[in-house]
Structure 1
Amino acid sequence: MEVKIGVQNAARELHIETDETAEAIGKAVADALAAGGVLTLKDVKGRTLVVPTDKLAYVEIGHGTVGQVGFRS
């Protein structure tokens, strides 16, 4: 699952590819916002991403684009 996170006052968004489901990611975001702490996600390589919830601008959850080769029309 591909997750894009917008951070306030940052020029670029954060991209993370994770093995979690969209429902699990959505619950993690909702729980972090309710608690007012940090959003913590793990990517497919085992790295951890931690973002303070007061700096979140948006979280976009979607499917990754694995294995695309060549031209598309």
Structure 2
Amino acid sequence: MEVRIGVQNVARELVFESAQEGDEITAAVTEALTKGGTLQLKDEKGRLLVVPVASLGYVDIGASEVRKVGFGLS
């Protein structure tokens, strides 16, 4: 699952692939926004990303993108 997180006052967004399902990520974001503190998500390599909830601009949860390799002939 591809996740993009916009952080306030930061020009670049955080983009990573997560092994978690979209529903799990949505639940984690909702819980973090409700309780305050930090949003904690793991990427597909097991690294932990921690973002202060007060700094969240947006969280975009999308499907994993399959990258195509090769040349298309028309």
TM-score by length of 2: 0.90
Q: SS at the partner of 1:24?
A: helix
Show the counterpart of 1:31: 31
Q: Is the partner of 2:5 in helix, strand or coil? A: strand
Other-structure match for 1:51: 51
Q: Unpaired runs of 5+ in structure 1?
A: none
- 1:61 and 2:52 are equivalent in the alignment: no
- The CA RMSD over aligned residues, in Å, is 1.3
Instruction: Point out where structure 2 has 5 or more consecutive residues left out of the alignment.
Output: none
Deviation at 1:71? 5.1
Total equivalences in the alignment: 72
2:17 paired residue number: 17
Identity of aligned residues (%): 56
TM-score w.r.t. length of structure 1:
0.91
Structure 1 runs of 4+ aligned residues shifted over 2 Å read none
Point out the structure with max Rg over C-alpha.
2
Please give the secondary structure, in 2, of the residue aligned with 1:15. strand
